[in-house]
Chains A and B, each alone.
Chain A
Amino acid sequence: MYLQVNGAATYCYTGGKPINPAQPTVVFIHGVLNDHSVWILQSRYFSHHGWNVLAVDLPGHCKSEGEAPESVEAAAGFIGDLLDAAGVQKAALVGHSWGSLIALEAASKLRERVSHLVLVGTAYPMKVSPALVDASLSEPMKALHMVNVFSRSTLAAPPSALGPGTWVFGAGMALGRRVLASNLKANVFHRGFVACDRYANGEKAIASITCPVLFLLGSVDQMTQPKAAQGLIQVAQEAGQAVQVINLPVGHHQMIEAPDQTLAAVWDFLKP
């Protein structure tokens, strides 16, 4: 469905269903150079099991119009506006990679409006190597290849987003090319990486959230290595937050390399 958010048509995958005020809502937030479709094997399940789903294309990404966010804070503000536009008072936020930082920042701003926070493939600080940041601007196809190489952990993924026969690496490359081509005004690859790299409010944000948080990490993730999330986990624990940590035996493509395990972890965490 399309919602008008800040005057821009914003696409949200809902599993083909309208928002039911009687149901809980979960918002899925994608990472750099991704869109809603990376969540398909989690979002479709939720939408057919009693949840409202808003798997959003961030502004300026694929089906969504608007200015692509230049910072995590701007994107987090958009999530609040999205909930308002959808008429949703309270929601669980699930974010992957850059999307995890957006979810974290949004949870700290929206406070009681967020019921659960799930950070998939997260790290803080989420520093991106200068070479990769530069390449995302000057040689985006080369950078896209690097990102997909660093993201995968297997040459033999289980049946995935397109069902059996999905070649996850190729699907990641094709999606990246499509998202990049969807915005002729801004290089959303570079913009997203810069936003990740510059985000500096993570520790303050995690200490101020008012909901339980799940860290869902890939034990062989080369993009956001599990050790890079430990500081944030420690701050959350020291702040007395309800923290759960799950390590899946995958890389940075958690949702499509391990769709069932990712779904099970998020489902178990969010279920009433």
Chain B
Amino acid sequence: MPGYADPGFDTLALHAGFSPDATGARAVPIHLSTSFVFESSDHAASLFNLERAGHVYSRISNPTNAVFEQRMAALEGGIGAIATASGQAALHLAVATLMGAGAHIVASTALYGGSQNLLHYTLRRFGIETTFVKPGDIDGWKAAVRPNTKLLFGETVGNPGLDVLDIPTVAQIAHEAGVPLLVDSTLTTPYLIQPFEHGADIVYHSATKFLSGHGTVIGGVLVDGGSFDWEKSGKFPELTEAYEGFHNMVFSEESTVGAFLLRARREGLRDFGACLSPHSAWLILQGIETLSLRMDRHMANTERVVQFLASHPLVSRVGHPLLESHPSHTLANQLLRFGAKGAGSVFSFDIRGSREQGKAFIEALKIFSHLANVGDCRSLVIHPASTTHFRMSDEALAGAGIGPGTIRLSIGLEQADDLIDDLKRALKAADKAGV
């Protein structure tokens, strides 16, 4: 039923969460205000006690952020969302809402290095342990679940090996264990996959990447699909029993489907405070409005570059599911909206030869920028083993599909011919460096 009442993805990307307000502003206004005036003493008390909905203080909520949150929930097919200071803040908010010391997480080995750090080192210091499992090791996921497991967690496509997470199967394992599946969909965005449709329960993004798309802002967002039954699980007293820290509220009684978001905002944002600046939310919204256009171009350029690299004699491996040799080729075609070519534009490849040749390659590039980010409109390059994933052991690196000579690319929106020329010249320089 096309139209305003049942709009498609592109329309939601432009209109969900905002319609012109009393000022007549067509673009989403930036509400740079820390706090919001109460109508009366009763209104103030009602807002604090969740009897009425509205904005009090911008650490908890903000009108500009709320547009971003509604828009992301709409694009993901969720019930609501919470904007956070970064993708890492979104991951922390999810974990901190669901568990405390003594809890256990089962996570994919194919994670962004920062997420791996949080789980492997930092959360362990707070009494939360994580068992890592290769994303395709289904028996491993099952075997890793313990009585105190509270969460299963993976990335839609692992960074940078692009191992596609078998969301339906892992979700089933999670649900049989009475716990939710959390998915990081940063590299795919809701345009390439909507994890809730495949059984995931909670999704988060580093909005720093493709959502904002221009390398200008740090931000994150946590989206709840509203599908997980916390009461039926019986493993989450944080959501199903009276919480003394908020007027003895029982979040699952207040909202049948939204208990997680209620507590995440009312406790997590309130106490940990990793909120998003409204200005950052606005910048991310600018990116979301053109998300599908940009992702189409990212995909098209990536396909060209993958084809070029796969046929180059100095390249020993290209890690993109577009290639039949990639272990996730079939799964990508099954799960992703555009099949394997929709497995994102962040991927890795290996150059034959020494580390010195790898260095020569990176330094010869002129269009690709050497930096620690992905999902920019400009093409980017990095050497993960010495940068983003440098804290990981060789074993952990191998688990994430990263070798000592692996190069990671994030393909941007430039002319594909120009990108290929840049890579061609750099590969030539790498070849010379090996002589």
Q: What is A's interface to B at a CB cutoff of 8 Å?
A: 13, 16, 35-37, 40-41, 44-45, 48-49, 62-63, 145-146, 149-150, 152, 154-167, 169-171, 173-175, 177-179, 222, 259-260, 263
Residues A155 and B73 in contact in the complex (CB < 8 Å), given A16-B248, A165-B80, A171-B257: no
Query: Does B317 make an interface contact (CB < 8 A)?
Result: no
Q: Which of A40, A171, A177 contacts B80 (CB 8 A)?
A: A171
Interface centre among A40, A45, A63 (most CB of B within 10 A): A40
Taking the closest CB of chain B, its distance from the CB of A220, in whole angstroms, is: 10
Whether A174 lies near B53 (C-beta < 8 A) is: no
Q: What is B's interface to A at a CB cutoff of 8 Å?
A: 1, 4-7, 12, 15-19, 46, 49-55, 61-63, 65-67, 69-70, 73-74, 77-83, 225-227, 229, 231, 242, 247-250, 253-258, 261-262, 265-266
Residues A44 and B51 in contact in the complex (CB < 8 Å), given A174-B257, A175-B256: yes
Besides A167-B79, A170-B79, A170-B80, 8 other CB < 8 A contacts? A16-B242, A16-B250, A155-B17, A161-B255, A163-B80, A164-B61, A166-B53, A174-B225
CA distance in complex: A220, B255 (Å): 26
A-B contact pairs, 23 of them (CB 8 A): A41-B51, A45-B46, A48-B46, A145-B6, A156-B17, A159-B55, A161-B258, A162-B80, A162-B262, A163-B50, A164-B62, A164-B63, A164-B66, A165-B66, A165-B80, A165-B82, A166-B80, A167-B73, A167-B81, A170-B80, A171-B226, A175-B256, A263-B52
CA distance in complex: A173, B224 (Å): 13
- Main DSSP-derived SS at the B contact region: loop
Q: Which of B53, B225, B250, B256 contacts A159 (CB 8 A)?
A: B53
Question: Which residues in B have their C-beta under 8 angstroms from that of A145?
Answer: 6
Taking the closest CB of chain B, its distance from the CB of A41, in whole angstroms, is: 6
Question: Which residues in A have their C-beta under 8 angstroms from that of B55?
Answer: 159, 164
Q: Which of B4, B12, B65, B74 contacts A164 (CB 8 A)?
A: B65
Whether B70 lies near A167 (C-beta < 8 A) is: yes
Residues A174 and B61 in contact in the complex (CB < 8 Å), given A16-B248, A161-B53: no
Question: Which residues in B have their C-beta under 8 angstroms from that of A157?
Answer: 70
Taking the closest CB of chain B, its distance from the CB of A180, in whole angstroms, is: 12
Taking the closest CB of chain A, its distance from the CB of B23, in whole angstroms, is: 14
Question: Which residues in A have their C-beta under 8 angstroms from that of B74?
Answer: 155, 167, 169-170
Taking the closest CB of chain B, its distance from the CB of A159, in whole angstroms, is: 4
Question: Which residues in A have their C-beta under 8 angstroms from that of B70?
Answer: 156-157, 165-167
CA distance in complex: A16, B242 (Å): 9
Whether B226 lies near A170 (C-beta < 8 A) is: yes
Taking the closest CB of chain A, its distance from the CB of B198, in whole angstroms, is: 15
CA distance in complex: A16, B265 (Å): 20
Whether A35 lies near B256 (C-beta < 8 A) is: yes
Whether B19 lies near A167 (C-beta < 8 A) is: no
CA distance in complex: A36, B70 (Å): 23
Residues A163 and B262 in contact in the complex (CB < 8 Å), given A40-B255, A171-B257, A175-B257: yes
Q: Which of B15, B49, B82, B242 contacts A155 (CB 8 A)?
A: B15
Taking the closest CB of chain A, its distance from the CB of B115, in whole angstroms, is: 23
Residues A165 and B65 in contact in the complex (CB < 8 Å), given A156-B15, A156-B17, A170-B80: yes
Question: Which residues in A have their C-beta under 8 angstroms from that of B81?
Answer: 165, 167
Question: Which residues in B have their C-beta under 8 angstroms from that of A44?
Answer: 49-51, 254
Question: Which residues in B have their C-beta under 8 angstroms from that of A36?
Answer: 256
Question: Which residues in B have their C-beta under 8 angstroms from that of A40?
Answer: 254-255
Whether A167 lies near B80 (C-beta < 8 A) is: yes
CA distance in complex: A16, B253 (Å): 9
Taking the closest CB of chain B, its distance from the CB of A15, in whole angstroms, is: 8
Question: Which residues in A have their C-beta under 8 angstroms from that of B266?
Answer: 163
Whether B1 lies near A149 (C-beta < 8 A) is: yes
Whether B16 lies near A156 (C-beta < 8 A) is: yes
Taking the closest CB of chain B, its distance from the CB of A35, in whole angstroms, is: 6
Whether A178 lies near B256 (C-beta < 8 A) is: yes
Taking the closest CB of chain B, its distance from the CB of A18, in whole angstroms, is: 13
Whether B249 lies near A16 (C-beta < 8 A) is: yes
- Closest A-B pairs by Cβ, 4 of them: A174-B226, A165-B69, A167-B73, A159-B53
